[in-house]
A = this chain, B = another copy of it.
Amino acid sequence: MTLPDALSEALSFAGRLADAGRPVALEHFRSGAAADNKHAAGFDPVTAADRGVEAVIRELLAEHRPRDGVIGEEGAPSPSRSGLTWVIDPIDGTRAFIAGLPTWTTLIALQDETGPLISVIDQPFTGERFLGAANRGAWLEHRGDRRPLSVREGVSGISDAILSTTDPGLFEGREADAFSGIAVAAKVRRYGLDAYAYAALALGGVDLVVESGLKAWDAAALIPVVTGAGGVVTSWSGGPCHGGGQVVAAATPALHAEALTHLASASA
């Protein structure tokens, strides 16, 4: 599909931002020194990679999009004078990063007052770049190839679904009960993927992702990729979720509705 020029340009610029972050992140990935520093100081998901990637992205934004706002995990927010704001998580999935696993990502989204418009979920080690334009389209760029993404439309319900959440142990109380009701019913469960789970949903692999406690920079970039690939993503009560908190993403509207019947009672 053809995107409006402003969205197309923004998506292309988001790719440039991700390009700039890649070598910085990869310099620290699987480097013994980074892991040991991390451990020496006690476990802390803010790595040198986190700070370095956000710094190069903020530099490019300051130079080329000075009127846009910036919200990032690592720095102070900078206000928008254009109505547009970039939302950055330099390394999402810091635990995967430290463990040497290829499922951490760099998240970049551009949003206005209605929510995220375009986004990138970038995996520098595999070279996968998931791009989304909300409700319009999503694509995977991988080593010179680019193809449209589409959720698995044939999923018949939770009992047929591949479910993912980052850590089932993160839920407590009513949230834990609600998640458990879905987890026992699902066909397959996959854990520990952070934003990569939503990319896998857009690929047609994972069918349902249920999480809580997300920050705005964890959540914003998920939305254009999921809805662009034909999926549904909302809060546990069915409302907007780009501010973070409780998030449920599903391959189809029917699967999403079925998940909400479990989650609504525990919605914040």
Contacts and interface: CB of A to CB of B under 8 A. Distances in A.
A245 interface: no
Contacts of A61: none
Nearest to A160: B39
Interface residues of A, number: 37
Contact of A35 (B43, B100, B152): B152
A240 interface: no
Interface in A98-125: 98-103, 125
A136 to B, nearest CB: 21
A187 B43 contact: yes
Given A96-B190, A101-B193, A204 B43 contact: no
A21 B154 CA distance: 29
A126 interface: yes
Q: How many copies does the complex hold?
A: 2
Contacts of A189: 167, 169
A248 interface: no
A65 interface: no
Interface in A2-41: 30, 32, 35-36, 39
A225 interface: no
A192 interface: yes
A95 B190 CA distance: 8
A213 B36 CA distance: 33
Contacts of A220: none
A83 B90 CA distance: 52
Contact of A192 (B35, B39, B192): B192
Interface of A: 30, 32, 35-36, 39, 43, 95-96, 98-103, 125-126, 152, 154-155, 160, 162, 164, 167, 169, 187-193, 196, 200, 203-206
10 contacts: A30-B203, A36-B152, A36-B154, A39-B187, A95-B188, A99-B164, A99-B188, A100-B203, A103-B103, A125-B126
